[in-house]
Amino acid sequence: MAKFRTLDDVDVAGKTVLTRVDLNVPMKDGRITDDLRISRILPTLHELSRKGAKVVVLSHFGRPDGKPVPEMSLKPVAAALATALGSPIAFAEDCIGDVAKAAIDKLKPGGVVLLENTRFHAAEEKNDSAFAKSMAALGDIYVNDAFSCAHRAHVSTEALAHLLPAYAGRNMEVELKHLEAALESPEKPVAAVIGGAKVSTKLELLGNLLSKVDKLIIGGGMANTFLFAQGREVGKSLCEKNMADTARDILREAVARGCAVVLPDDVVVAREFKPGAASKVVPTDRCPPDQMILDIGPVAAARLGTLLADCKTLVWNGPLGAFETPPFDAGTVTVARTAAALTAAGRLLSVAGGGDTVAALRHAGVVEEFSYVSTAGGAFLEWMEGKELPGVAALNGH
């Protein structure tokens, strides 16, 4: 990972700092249901404020398709951010032009203003140069603290880094350091837990990991496709039967690269997928034709615990079963808690990311016990696929 500048490398006193964060938080009935992304950006905002900067917060919210949509205004988020920050926050009804400039001009050093949703302008997602210049004119320095948006080459995530002195915020800095430690220069042996529904959505990820990890643990619906590819009965399970040849190719490639692919030894099956459904544990080659695989079994979970105990580094993306619907959460919860315990004991560096992954680890009660849990979805996945992220590359290049 190339060198990038951080807040240690700049004096922000008296400067106006355009600070890109990710406030695209889940909301229901006007209330934020998960404030992890807010809590992650507080160190950067506090530090900039304490050092006497005028802090101008930029973010998108939802997908308004380049026009103002009242339901996607950041105004309700401003109140929650102010509460979390413990100080008042001004709000501007636009992210460029006279309205934004007037709000910034009113700030005293240390003050914070949140500008309206950057995606209310179509030019934001087009990475339009004129729009970028209009936004850059509002500040002296650019700080990107939104790794979760770094896979997008938008004005507020990429173009600004080429127009202003650019630095990584503390959240971005921590994320990049953990990602480097997990896959770019890891302590071996390295294990990856890859779950989720479909092999077809994670082909690039699996291909990249084969050369990076020692143990590739596959769970969730994806595992069913691999089991089917090995000639095992999967009943009515979610399974991409058309991907069987691809799965066999991946297994052959893994052997060639010395990567051990780990599939479940036993599974939890049920006739119907609903909370509290009658279920039973069977070996992976004994799934009844009228039932579906919905979780890994206790033998598989115990085996994974033993395997992780022999590893030094873990990267996790995707649940091992249908964790949202008990009792099919047991496998994911057991393995997550084992990884958390090994992390707490100083025996494992554990890095996880992806929307379902964060929800699964929260369900297991271990989000705070992993070395690092990324709030990024697409950006985390693209990083694991080995792709260059435009928002990170721009920080390196300025």
Q: Cα separation of 364 and 336, whole Å? A: 7
Name the residue among 336, 226, 329 with its Cα closest to residue 279: 329
**Separation between Cα atoms, residue 106 and residue 70, nearest integer Å:** 25
Neighbours of 180 (CB within 10 A): 12
Rg (CA), the chain: 23
Residues 10 and 165: beta-carbon distance below 8 Å: yes
Catalytic residue numbers, as ranges? 37, 198, 355, 378
**CA-wise closest residue to 262 among 309, 303, 231:** 303
Q: Please, where are the H alpha helices in the chain?
A: 36-50, 75-85, 97-105, 122-125, 129-136, 160-163, 170-179, 203-209, 220-229, 244-257, 298-309, 330-344, 355-364, 378-384, 390-397
For residues 340 and 369, the answer to whether their CB atoms sit within 8 Å is yes
* Contact status, residue 150 vs residue 144, Cβ threshold 8 Å: yes
d(CA 116, CA 68): 9
